[in-house]
Every structure is written in C-alpha cells, then in structure tokens.
Structure 1
Amino acid sequence: MAVSLQVLYPVGPETRFDYDYYAKTHMALVAEHMGPHAVSVQAVKGLAGGPDTPPEFYAVATMIFENQEKLQAASAAAGPVTADIPNYTNTKPQLLIGEVIG
C-alpha cells in the first residue's frame, strides 16, 4: 500500500523561511537523495489559511512512496536533506506519515 510523508513548516512569531532557497536548492537535494525512492514529490507554498486568514504554514512538502520499505529507504538517505534545513528556515518542521487512501 502507498504511503506518504508530509513535511509541514509552521509559521511562528520569530521564524523565517527563504522560499527561493527552498525551491531551488533544498528541493534539488530532496530529488537527489530521496527522489529515487519516491513515486512523486511536490512542495506547496502557503498562501492563506482560509478567507482573509494568513497561512499557518510556510510550505508543505508531500512525497508519495509505493510502500513502507521505499519510505524507509528514502528516510535512510535523507541525511543531507535534513542537514540543509537551517539554511532556509528556523521553524521546526512537523512530519506526518500516512497511508494513501484516495
């Protein structure tokens, strides 16, 4: 069964997020190190949390894997990806691993 890994970057009072670095440099690292194990990888920039409401997240990255073993292989290869996080944000990413149901 397919599984997903979502990485959510929450907005906070003293946090920062460099979208340009994230899109050009960090996502290239994701593609290089984790991408070979994934079915798909995408990142979304937060624009709003609803009508007239600022976003609660700077961005959300979603990676889909064929199965748990592929996710584990990607996680094992993710060292350079996680080490890069301080280069574009000081917020603490939240993770959600889930079963793809639709």
Structure 2
Amino acid sequence: MTMTLQVAYPVTEGTTFDYDYYFDTHMKMVEEHMGAHIAEAFASRGVSGPPGQPAPFHAIATMKFADQAALNEALGASGPVMADIPNFTNSEPQVMVGHIG
C-alpha cells in the first residue's frame, strides 16, 4: 500500500520560518538522507487559507513511499533532517502518516 508522510509547520503567534533555508538547504537534506526511500516529494509554502484568511501553515512537505517498509527506512534515516528543524523555524511541526486510498 502506498504510504505518505506529511510534515506541516503551523503558523502560531510568534513563530518564524526561513523559507530560503527550508527550500534551499533543508529539502536537500531530506533528499540526501531519506531520498533513496522516497518515491515522490514536494513542499508547498503557505499563501492563504480560505478567502480573506491567512495561511494556517508556513509550509507543508509531502513525501510518498511505495510501502510501509520504505517509509520505515526513511524514518530510520531522518535523524539529521529532524535535527535541522530549529535552523529554519521555531514552529512545532505536525506529522501525519497516511496511505493513499
């Protein structure tokens, strides 16, 4: 079964987010450490919520895996990626593992 991992960085009072670092450095770390196990990955920068509302998240990364085993391997290699989070945000990431229909 195809699995997904999503990491969302919520916008809350006082949170900061360095988009340049995230897209130019952090996402390259994801590729370096976890990429061998990822079938597809992308990240989107929050622009807005519903009409007239601010974005609820600074960014959301979505990674797709062939199966649970590939996801487990990627998670096992994610230590340096997770340790890098304070270098670009003070937002507490929300993580969701799912499967595609």
Per the normalisation by structure 1, the TM-score is: 0.98
Per-residue CA deviation, residues 50-70 of structure 1 (Å, 9 max, x unaligned), is 111100000000000000000
Aligned match of 1:59: 59
Aligned length: 101
Query: What is the aligned-residue RMSD (CA, Å)?
Result: 0.5
SS at match of 1:35: helix
Specify the SS of the correspondent of 2:49. coil
What code does the residue aligned with 1:45 have?
Answer: R
Task: Tell me the equivalent position of 1:34.
Answer: 34
Does residue 8 in structure 1 map to residue 8 in structure 2? yes
Unaligned runs of 5+ in 2: none
SS in 2 for 1:5: strand
- Equivalent pairs: percent with the same residue? 50
* Residues 27-59 of structure 1: CA deviation (Å, up to 9, x unaligned): 000001111101001000000011111000000
2:88 paired residue number: 88
AA matched with 2:95: L
Q: Give the ranges of 4+ consecutive aligned residues of structure 1 lying more than 4 Å apart after TM superposition.
A: none
Cα offset, 1:14, TM superposition:
1.0
String of CA shifts for 1:49-98, please: whole Å, max 9, x gaps. Answer: 11111000000000000000000000000011000000000010000100
